[in-house]
Amino acid sequence: MRTLQAFTNERLVTERFSAAVETAFSAARASVFARSFLTFFAIFTIFTSVVAVLWIGSYDVLSGAISPGTLGQFLFYAVLAAGALGALSEVWGELSQAAGAAERLTELLAEEPTVTAPLSPLSMPEPARGAIEFRDVCFAYPVRPGQSALHGLSFSIAPGRRWRSSARRVRAKAPCSRC
């Protein structure tokens, strides 16, 4: 959070976060609606099939076409089929959720990094000296590529020394200073 406060990006980051939260909320609401509709359809189909088996079966029992035991068997099979249909709606919801997650993973994997490796990288000195050196470092936030947050920053830190970057005020930054 210090970096955001140091460059006064709080409002921009808050707006971006709010937009992302609203998008996620809308997607979750659509998912809940689809799942509830599927659950309603499954429950309606289950009860309709059980009532249909009882209705038609009771007429057949009264006319003597089937026995009460046969009606009980049909009712048992109808309940088993209805339970399977209810489980199918749950599986469909989980498959939809997994498909959404897989789509997001595909998007992330297709993302091209903006930082590229140098064509001829320098190797670390053997043995490592422990010195740190920055030469002409420039940095700009992706939302403001034309405005540098750092420009031409150069410094070196000898082994065993401590350094810090400080900012006395948010808008007026102090240069790097020794601790």
**Model pLDDT for residues 127-137, shown as the tens digit of each residue:** 877 888 888 88
Q: Is the pTM of this model over 0.85?
A: no
Tokens of 162: 């401590």
- Name the DSSP letter for residue 166: -
The HSE-up count of residue 7 (CA atoms within 13 Å, CB side) is 15
Full residue range of the structural domain in which residue 94 is found = 2-110
**Model pLDDT for residues 139-158, shown as the tens digit of each residue:** 888 777 888 888 888 888 88
- Number of domains comprising the chain: 2
Domain presence at residue 29: yes
Same domain for 138 and 105: no
Domain presence at residue 119: no
Domain presence at residue 48: yes
**H runs (alpha helix) in the chain:** 2-6, 10-63, 68-110
What is the distance between the terminal CA atoms of the chain, rounded to a whole angstrom? 22
Q: Are 11 and 65 in contact (CB under 8 A)?
A: no
Length of the chain equals 179
